[in-house]
Chain A
Amino acid sequence: EPEVTQTPSHQVTQMGQEVILRCVPISNHLYFYWYRQILGQKVEFLVSFYNNEISEKSEIFDDQFSVERPDGSNFTLKIRSTKLEDSAMYFCASSAGTAPVYEQYFGPGTRLTVT
């Protein structure tokens, strides 16, 4: 069964450093998403991406964040200058974009720890 994959599984970085989180969505999917989950809290939407551009972004997704689809398979989330409060689990998701329910499938996540 096709799966979303993410690397690395755990990233430790110092405050102020840049990090890039990588995702390989399911191969025939067209819509891509990033979510985050701070420990003990609910999953929160960050950004959606379609046709090589951002479709929608949340208030969390400020100028420190960017996304890119550098090739036909990878989808990346970059945080330019990490803050302590960026520590969270980051999930990538993808969707085939088929009606009526547009199901999203999640990768295993990258645990980001900012020290």
Chain B
Amino acid sequence: RKEVEQDPGPFNVPEGATVAFNCTYSNSASQSFFWYRQDCRKEPKLLMSVYSSGNEDGRFTAQLNRASQYISLLIRDSKLSDSATYLCVVNMDGGSQGNLIFGKGTKLSVKP
């Protein structure tokens, strides 16, 4: 069965903290990897794609370990506005015609 598993959370952190989320996926043939964020009752918004070499976008760093089938997201200097549910998402089949498999998400709450 194709699955994406995430830390259950919730993560409650103070402003300025560094927080890390982890995710594992079951299908070793998976091609594309993403982190989305979802605010309450809103749509998933693409946060970043995850590349084999790892990538960074401002305060956000994503890592991919294909051998361990493991993806991570690091958020540095947390802001109140980072409070959301973070979804680990994998395109199992590759290509545009492949569907996205979502994890259940990890809820982050950043407190003043």
Closest CB of chain B to A41's CB: distance in Å? 8
Q: Chain A contacts of B57 at CB under 8 A?
A: none
What secondary structure prevails in chain A residues at the interface with B?
Answer: strand
Q: How far is the CA of A91 from the CA of B43 in the complex (A)?
A: 7
Out of B41, B42, B96, B102, which one reaches A31, CB within 8 Å?
Answer: B96
Closest CB of chain A to B49's CB: distance in Å? 4
B16 on the interface (CB 8 Å rule)?
Answer: no
Q: Chain A contacts of B87 at CB under 8 A?
A: 42-43
Number of interface residues of A (CB under 8 A): 31
Q: How far is the CA of A49 from the CA of B97 in the complex (A)?
A: 8
Q: How far is the CA of A56 from the CA of B105 in the complex (A)?
A: 24
A106 touches B95 (CB 8 A): no
Q: Chain B contacts of A44 at CB under 8 A?
A: 102
Q: How far is the CA of A105 from the CA of B32 in the complex (A)?
A: 14
Q: Chain A contacts of B104 at CB under 8 A?
A: 41-42
A104 touches B100 (CB 8 A): yes
Q: How far is the CA of A44 from the CA of B4 in the complex (A)?
A: 12
B18 on the interface (CB 8 Å rule)?
Answer: no
A45 touches B43 (CB 8 A): no
CB contacts under 8 Å to A, within B22-70, are 32, 34, 41-46, 49, 51
